[in-house]
Structure 1
Amino acid sequence: MSITFQTRTVNGVPLLLAIPGDVDPPLPAVLWFHGFGVDKETHRKELDQLARAGFLAVGVDAAGHGARRLADLDERQAAPHAQALRTMIELASRTADEVPGVVRALVDEGLADGGRVGVVGISMGGYVVYRAVLVHPAPRAAVAILGSPEWPEGDSPHRHLDGFRHTALLSITAERDENVPPAAARELHRRLAETAPGSIHRYVELSGAVHLMGEEHWNQAMEETVRWLDLHLR
């Protein structure tokens, strides 16, 4: 399958689109959110993988990153942990709030199927995903990789359990992750299982994995991700 990459800005948000050439639009769309300090180009390989699975794969430069990088982002990232986390959560929240406008523009252009939209994010991008699930209209499917729904300050997503009941949410964590410990995501899914039993929520904790995981664990995470999106966006 041929994949076409396009860089464009939509509603002020820089995007990298991976478009499968052998499938007619509108397509089920997946927005991909990167980690703290990097940009949409970091996951070109994963965008290609999603496009080959038949999705319109959309890499997003988070607020303050990539083509709209803050001049002092490096300094903010190197700040003491609590201060850096505050910056990350602020930028993640702003990025999540932009999702409906980006999706609407892609739908209006005829590229994306508005009824089949998913969001995927890793690390800071996982924080984006937990927030994006609560923004109207909610995505049909979501995958949070190495993120946390429990924020130390502000309007933490874990306080809005009802908002997770209508999105198929997969959370993937690393057992030995010291950057983003898995406990918060694990607890969210325990609560969801009690209050919203069914098959639209899944929790995967990669045994022995760390935050900067190796190839084997990453391949496992991507297999879980593609399978989940295929199940809930087809």
Structure 2
Amino acid sequence: MAIRFESRTVDGVPLLLAFPDSNGAPWPTVFWFHGFGVDSEVHRPELRRIAEAGFLAVGVDAAGHGRRRLPDLQERIDQPHEQALRTMTRLAAQTAAEIPGLVRALADEGIADPDRVALVGVSMGGYLVYRALLEPVALRAAVSILGSPEWPEGDSPHQHLDAFCRTALLSITGERDENVPPDGARALHRRLDEQNPRSVHRYVEIPGAPHLMDGDQWAVVMDEMPRWLERYVLRPAHTTPSE
């Protein structure tokens, strides 16, 4: 399948787009968010996989990263863990706030279907996905990989349980992840089970997986994630996750 990649800046945000090999525009759209210190280019294989499933795949360079990298980003990453985590979540929150504008811009261009939008993020991007569910944008599905809804300061996403009931949420964590322990995501899904039984969500904890997964462990992610997107985004636009 011929997947076409294109780098561009939309609404002031650098993007890497992977177009599906079909004439179905506007396409159902998946935004992909990378980890702390890297950029959208490192996820070309994942963007290709998503585009092959029939989505417009949009890799986003997060605030302070990629083509808008902060000159002192590496120094910030090298700070003690708690300080680096605060920097990371601030940049994630800034990026999450840009999502409604990106959806509007791509929809106005005629390439994104605003009624079929999903988010996927890994590590810092996983934190970002949880925060984005608080933004004023309609999302059909969200996949957080190796992220946490519990933030060290400010308005932590986990405090807004109702926000997680509007979107089909898949969280994937690693059992032995020391960088982002699975406790926060696990607790969120337990609360959803207890307080919102009609919410559509799934929690996957990969046995023995550290933050830097091996090939077999990442293959589990790349099996779970597309199936979730295909189930909850490639459905008629008038349906909702709870249906």
Q: Give the alignment's TM-score, normalised by structure 1.
A: 0.98
Q: Look up the match of 1:229.
A: 229
Equivalent residue number for residue 80 of structure 1: 80
The aligned residue for residue 58 of structure 1 is: 58
Contact 2:126 2:147 survives alignment (8 Å): yes
The letter of the residue matching 2:130 is Y
Correspondence for 1:121: 121
Report the alpha carbon displacement of residue 23 of structure 1 after superposing the two structures with TM: 3.6
Q: Name the TM-score, length of structure 2 as normaliser.
A: 0.95
Partner SS, residue 70 of structure 1: coil
1:123 partner amino acid: S
> Does the aligned pair in 2 maintain the 1:2–1:22 contact within 8 Å?
no
AA aligned opposite 1:180: V
CA shift for structure 1 position 194? 1.3
2:237 is aligned to none
Q: Which amino acid aligns with 2:146?
A: L
Q: State the AA in 1 paired with 2:165.
A: R
1:126 CA drift (Å): 0.3
1:67-98 deviation per Cα after TM superposition (whole angstroms, max 9, x unaligned) = 00000000000011111011000000000000
Give 5+ residue unaligned stretches, structure 1.
none
1:169 matches 2:169: yes
Whether the 8 Å CA contact 1:142–1:170 is kept in 2: the answer is yes
One-letter amino acid of the structure 1 residue matched with residue 55 of structure 2: F
1:198 corresponds to: 198
Cα-to-partner distance string for 1:45-88 (whole Å, 9 max, x where unaligned): 00000000000000000000000000000000001111101100
Aligned match of 2:68: 68
Q: 2:19 aligned with 1:19, yes or no?
A: yes
Which residues of structure 2 form unaligned runs of 5+? 235-243
189-198 or 44-53: bigger deviation: 189-198
Q: Distance in 1 between matches of 2:200 and 2:108?
A: 28
Alpha-carbon offset, residue 138 of structure 1: 3.5
Q: CA deviation at 1:22?
A: 2.1
SS for the counterpart of 2:135 is coil
SS at match of 2:110: coil
Q: Residue 142 of structure 2 contacts residue 167 of structure 2 at CA under 8 Å; is this kept in 1?
A: yes
Deviations 1:186-208 (A, max 9, x none): 00000011122136100000011
Instruction: State the match for 2:35 in structure 1.
Output: 35
Confirm whether residue 46 of structure 1 aligns to residue 79 of structure 2: no
**3-state DSSP class of the match of 1:63?**
coil
8 Å contact kept, 1:140–1:167: yes
Amino acid aligned to 1:110: G
What secondary structure does 2:194 align onto?
A: helix
Letter in 1 for 2:103: V
* 1:64/1:91 contact within 8 Å kept: yes
Which residue number in structure 2 is paired with residue 135 of structure 1? 135
SS of corresponding position for 1:58: strand
Q: 1:151 to 1:199 in 2, by over 3 A?
A: closer
Aligned residues: 234
Considering only aligned residues, what root-mean-square deviation do their CA atoms show, in Å? 0.8
Displacement of 1:139 = 1.3
Runs of 4+ in structure 1 displaced over 6 angstroms? none
- Do the aligned residues in 2 keep the contact of 1:34 with 1:62 (CA within 8 Å)? yes
